Amino acid sequence: MEINGVYIEDTFAEAFPIWVSRILITAATKRWAKIAATEATGFGTSVIMCPAEAGIEKYVPPSKTPDGRPGFIIQICHPKKKGLEEQMLERIGQCVLTCPTTAVFDAMEEEDEKVKVGFKLKFFGDGFEKKDELNGRKIYRIPIMGGEFITESSFGIKKGVAGGNFFIMADTNATALMAAEAAVNAIQSVDKVITPFPGGIVASGSKVGASNPKYKFMVATTNHKMCPTLKDVVEDSEVPEDVNGVYEIVINGLTEDAVKMAMREGILAATRVKGVKKITAGNYGGKLGPYQIKLRELFE
């Protein structure tokens, strides 16, 4: 199969379940809301080493927020429910509560459970906090030097999908990066998904463990099969002769359908860039997770 003249490999992206929260951060200005959202999602690329996976989903205009101020929706993801609650508490408490003029609200539409993150945050008020209601939401008003910090009492969490992915292979590294940027821009139009890596792009794709017997202590190492600089060095290289640049896009989302939609839109955008040769995906033969998102079926 070819899309816009680019070969789509007959393979699948292997994704796995993960606990997800969806949080709306608002502020007096779009700038401060973006700063808080960026801080709260930092060090959140992969749970291989990061304490959580996190990213900014989208901007929300004042007309659609509970307090009539600009905001950003973020997602925080963790393999364990308890771990997710801890990360929510720490990231909101240290990165949003500390940011000027911010407030946080639950943005989950269909949760599996509720966690009392706001209730726990209110103890920062040292007894001076006040329970209140805002547009039908139970909130706490916590006095701070910058006025009040408003947090919704509880937040919804649910089992989502992590690890949707595809690889962009191009004639040069610059072309591959341009295509990856186009893919991320397209994915930003899809609701309920995030691309947790820097700028949404993975430069250092990894594999589980190590092939070098001296490095067996490593949890993950470079995906040597996908490294253009190694295509003439390793026998099991999967980089075609005419490819000199490879980037990966990883997608997490609230549902499998949302991740599929994001993959489709991202791949379509990437294939429109001249010089892109091939689109493939990463999997572990079905051993990692129950979701097998077949690339070609995205376009049927």
Q: Alpha carbon of 241 to those of 172, 174, 179, 228: distances in Å?
A: 12, 17, 19, 9
Q: Residue written as tokens 């796995």? A: 16
Q: Are 266 and 251 spatial neighbours (Cβ–Cβ below 8 Å)? A: yes
Q: How far is 228 from 236, CA to CA, in rounded Å? A: 12
Q: What does the pLDDT average to over 162-167?
A: 97
Angle made by CA atoms 149, 150, 155, in degrees to the nearest 5:
130
Q: How far is 163 from 46, CA to CA, in rounded Å? A: 9
* pLDDT exceeds cutoff 80 at 288: no
Q: Which residues of 246-280 are buried (b: 16+ CB within 10 A; e: fewer)?
A: bbbbbbbbbbbebbbbbbbbbbbbbbbbebbbbbb
Q: Are 218 and 209 spatial neighbours (Cβ–Cβ below 8 Å)? A: yes
Q: How far is 293 from 252, CA to CA, in rounded Å? A: 13
- Provide, for the chain, the percentages of residues in helix, strand and coil under a 3-state DSSP scheme, each rounded to the nearest 5: 30, 35, 35
Q: Alpha carbon of 156 to those of 9, 99, 113, 145, 254: distances in Å?
A: 38, 23, 6, 29, 12
Q: Residue written as tokens 């945050």? A: 121
* Architecture in CATH of 2-14+161-299: 2-Layer Sandwich (3.30)
* pLDDT exceeds cutoff 90 at 263: yes
What are the residue ranges spanned by the domains of the chain?
Answer: 2-14+161-299, 18-158
Taken in order 55, 249, 258, 190, the sign of the CA dihedral is positive
* pLDDT exceeds cutoff 90 at 287: no
CA 265 from centroid of its chain's CA atoms: 16
Confidence of residue 289 (pLDDT cuts 50, 70, 90): confident
Look up the pTM and report it: 0.95
pLDDT tens digits, residue range 214-244? Answer: 999 999 999 999 999 999 999 999 999 999 9
Kindly give, in sequence order, each residue whose CB lies less than 8 Å from that of residue 167, ignoring residues fewer than 6 positions away.
Answer: 205, 226, 246, 247, 248, 249, 279, 280, 281, 282
**Fold (CATH) for 18-158:** Alpha-Beta Plaits (3.30.70)
What was the pLDDT predicted at 41? 98
Q: What does the pLDDT average to over 283-299?
A: 90
Q: What is 76-116 written as a DSSP string?
A: EEESSHHHHHHHHHHHIIIIITTSTT-EEEE--SS-SEEE-
What was the pLDDT predicted at 240? 97
Q: What is 230-277 written as a DSSP string?
A: GTTT-TT----TT--EEEEEEEEESSHHHHHHHHHHHHHHHHTSTTEE
Q: Residue written as tokens 């996908």? A: 226
Q: What percent of the chain has pLDDT over 70?
A: 100
